[in-house]
Amino acid sequence: MARAKTVALIAALTPEQLTRTAVFEGYGPLTMQSLVHYLCSHDQQHLAGLQWLLGKIEASRVG
């Protein structure tokens, strides 16, 4: 549910809103568009970890 709300919020942003700047702790100055890229990268890291785990599970079934 939270993910759907986040996606809906991002989808509703105007081009002007995407270029707004702020300082994000640990990242420094960025735009809203930059933050969206960071969010996507974070999700991809989680997906990569799940893919790795599935590979380990499958490999454990071989031997």
Rg of the Cα atoms in the chain: 17
How does pLDDT run across 13-50, given as a tens digit for each residue? 999 999 999 999 998 999 999 999 999 999 999 999 99
Partnered with residue 9 across adjacent β-strands are none
**Does residue 63 register a pLDDT over 90?**
no
| Inter-residue contact 15 to 2 (CB < 8 Å) | no
| pLDDT for 56 | 96
Q: How far, CA to CA in Å, does 44 sit from each of 1, 29, 38, 57?
A: 19, 23, 10, 20
Distance CA 42, CA 61 (A): 30
Q: Return the domain boundaries, the chain.
A: 2-62
| pLDDT for 7 | 93
Question: What SS3 class is residue 48?
Answer: helix
